[in-house]
Amino acid sequence: MSARYPQDCPEGFISRYFVVAGDTMTIIARYFGTTKEELIAANPHIADPEVLYPGDVLCVPGFRKPTNCPENFQGRYEVKECDSMYTIAKMFNISEEELIDANPHIPNPEFIFPFDVLCLPESPAMAAGALVQVRVNESNNGEVVCLQPGQRLELTLAENASTGYSWEYKTRLDTNVLKETGSWVENPEVPMPGAPGKRHWTYQAVNPGHTTIDLRYTQAWLAEPEPAKTFTLTVKVVH
């Protein structure tokens, strides 16, 4: 059967989705943060919503813009690949709850898509179009972070030199994608034996692609050091 295409999409469902094998209206609705009933209503060209074929094209939520923004959220931000409410809130130093409350045009905040537009607090960095530095720590272990070329990343991990343990790379970065621009140790405020400090690294995104910051916490002077803990962060650089 030939693929079915919508002639037009209703307001709020202006993005297009190509059906793949195994898809159902329920699965697609859940992925895009809408209901099965709303998805069916937006796609009357599908005569039997219980039967979808690979290649069918559906109208789905996307490219959503706020009608207006709260007084203290007059800036606008266009969602990029890999963004989430959590990462955007962290990037602009606000709480995730504040960001969600300021954007009621996003019905399910767990689902945002490239080109969606969010209300954000105005800031000098945003007004200048600057790329905001992203900060991560041990709570981001195992996550994926997205950067734009030229954007900076700062990583901070606890390190206790008095125990002989320190962080080292397990595998090398792809420096064509992400380059390290600095690393330093922050000593404890009270210099007591056993008091933990912090290690900081700074990076700059270079070209589109992906690489992994892959670190292990070891006593490097041992012949075969066994890591006490590890840290990995996948970095995707996107346009």
Kindly list the domain boundaries of the chain, sorted by start residue.
15-60, 75-127, 134-237
In the CATH scheme, what is the code of domain 75-127? 3.10.350.10
Does position 195 have pLDDT exceeding 80, yes or no? no
Give the pLDDT band of residue 177 (cuts 50, 70, 90): very high
Integer CA distances (angstroms), 211 to 13, 144, 156, 161, 162, in order: 34, 10, 18, 28, 31
End-to-end alpha carbon distance in the chain: 37
Domain 134-237 matching CATH 2.60.40.2020: the answer reads yes
If one compares 188 and 17, the residue with the highest pLDDT of the two is 17
Give the pLDDT band of residue 155 (cuts 50, 70, 90): very high
Q: Average pLDDT in the 145-158 region?
A: 92
Does position 96 have pLDDT exceeding 80, yes or no? yes
Highest mean pLDDT among 72-81, 159-168, 171-180: 171-180
Q: Average pLDDT in the 195-203 region?
A: 88
Does position 71 have pLDDT exceeding 80, yes or no? yes
Highest mean pLDDT among 6-15, 73-82, 128-137, 205-214: 205-214
pLDDT of residue 104: 92
* Equal fold, 15-60 vs 134-237: no
Does position 205 have pLDDT exceeding 90, yes or no? yes
Nearest Cα to 1, choosing from 53, 77, 44?
53
Tokens of 149: 């070329």
If one compares 224 and 27, the residue with the highest pLDDT of the two is 27
Q: Which CATH superfamily is domain 15-60 in?
A: LysM domain (3.10.350.10)
Round to whole Å and give the CA distance between 228 and 239.
Answer: 37
Does position 199 have pLDDT exceeding 70, yes or no? yes
Give me the percent of the chain exceeding a pLDDT of 90.
Answer: 48
Round to whole Å and give the CA distance between 49 and 174.
Answer: 46
pLDDT of residue 50: 95
pLDDT of residue 190: 64
